[in-house]
Structure 1
Amino acid sequence: MRNASDLPPEAAEASASGVERRARWLLVLLAGLLVASAAYLLYARGVFEPTQTLVLVADDAEGVSVGMDLTFSGFPIGRVRRIELGGDGYARILVDVARRDAHWLRESSVFTMERGLVGGTRLRAYTGVLEGPLLPDGAQRQVLRGDALADLPRMVNAARELLEQLKAMTDPDAPLNASLREVRQLLQKANGRDGVLGVLMGNEADRTRVTAALDDVRRLLQRLQGVADRADALVQRTDQRVFGAQGLADDVQASAREARDLLVGLRATLQRVDGVLAEVHGIAVNTRSATQDLDALRVEVEATLRRVDGMILDIQRRWPFSRDAEVKLP
């Protein structure tokens, strides 16, 4: 192989100019690749996409940084462009929202800034009614804060108070321990000879009386059970006598049929009596004149009966051998 020093001067200059030309083209290619990559990154970041501005007002912008995403249902729809302090002392967070995603934001949308125990601050948007009017460009909305760290001191204080109360409850002289000791004593008495009844009554005499009362109640229940059994048997016999074969119900039905037959016969008899009464009515009209003569005859008969009665009394007074002072007329 021949070295460059062995070449003539014209050939060496031509070779050097070719290498320089290739180096320039390589640098241009690298610069083009860098520019294309930067342009693609800017396009991917949405720099060339049309946006609208949303101003979020918060009393504290701690944790918010430029480039932070504004999410809706977990999807980024906007990006924080600038954070500034307003004249009223509130932080103003300028968010660029892509036009293609702006339809998710409505006049009724709610914006929150959440800060958890783990992780950074998050900006979120919530829209309850998607049929409402669209959020205009440059709209200003108040941000609702949800800071879990703000409740941490209160939670620590509550936990400290709870631990102090538990310590006071577990103290040997605490009322809870005294109550537990009394409960243990009651359980020991309940497991003893007298049992739970002795614990409830407190003394042997009351326990004996309660036991006797329970025995009486048991015997009474047994007697009531016997009475119930006899009543059940009586009901069964009554049912058999009343509703069984040739029972009282059959006799009552037969009597009812006989009574119905008698009533039918009585009805026919009454109809015949009605005819007889009609005839008697005609006879009574004819005999009305004769009753006047019968009145005089009745007076004479009554006088005769009085005389006979007086004579019977006289005979009874004069009858010497009669055991009963009376005379029975035939």
Structure 2
Amino acid sequence: MRGENKRSVIVGIFVFVGIAILVAGVLTLGGQQKKFVKAIQLKAVFDDIGGLQEGNNIWFSGVKIGTVRKINFYGDAQVEIEMNVEEEVVEFIRKDSKATISSDGLIGNKIIVIYGGTTLAPAVEDGDRLESVMPLDTDQMMETLQVNNENLVEITGNLKNLTSKLAEGEGMVGAALTDSLLAENFRAIVNNLNQASINSNRMINELKSFTAKLNQEGNLFNELVTDTTMVSEMKQTLVSLNTAAENAQKMTSELSTVTEKFNSTDNSVGMLLNDPELAETLRSTLQNADSASYNLNRGMDALEYTWPFNKGFKRKKKAEEKENN
């Protein structure tokens, strides 16, 4: 009898411990699932939930604030998520907040993250629908990474080929890296360019100094640019030079006409210059005149010794001698 009572006590203890464990587990799970706290329901519609399940957590600013209550199909091919959110954090979630799907860690369970919202918008209420933002698709990210990896491998191979060619001296760049003579020529070109740059800078400075001197007062160029009176006088001088040039051109034209007449035989001067017969006749006439004057002089000399004029010449000679004395 005593053994049966002992066995009953032990069984009762195990049953009590089991019930206690069951109650503790229910309370623990209920606490994690927010079953025993006051909550409101919020909704969000996604095109793809990516494996999200009922009971997954909802986070706001890094704090767990609720769980996924229910998943329903919505419209043609969308999914509506009903969320239980603790009532005590409702005042911090605004109507313009957004909801997106993320992961609890790198490979953890799917969660819903509520973020954003401004103080200008009022707090959410039971049954409100938040704007949803589609998360990055991990499959697309992996495909993109795979493509980038293939491109990187190709770029690495091309870079390897390029560096090997450069090391072997192929191409212009390779020759420049390996050929010492080409390097010297390139260095000489760079030095020449540097010298040209120095010369150009010096020329620019000299030109700047020259222009500064031109802008000084009293300079001819400065007066030409700033003195309106000199400009007017120069204009008048240019007009006078233009008139003189026109007159010279006119005189040249008239002189050309005169020379043309001199070359013609229809006038006296032209005949004197161009008619050989008239020239010969004029020459003969001059010779005859010269011969006549010579004979006249001889006749006058002979006339001094003739008897009728002898006394007259003697008197003239005595008178001249008297005046000279």
TM tier relative to shorter chain = 0.3 to 0.5
Q: Compute the TM-score of the two structures, normalised by the length of structure 2.
A: 0.48
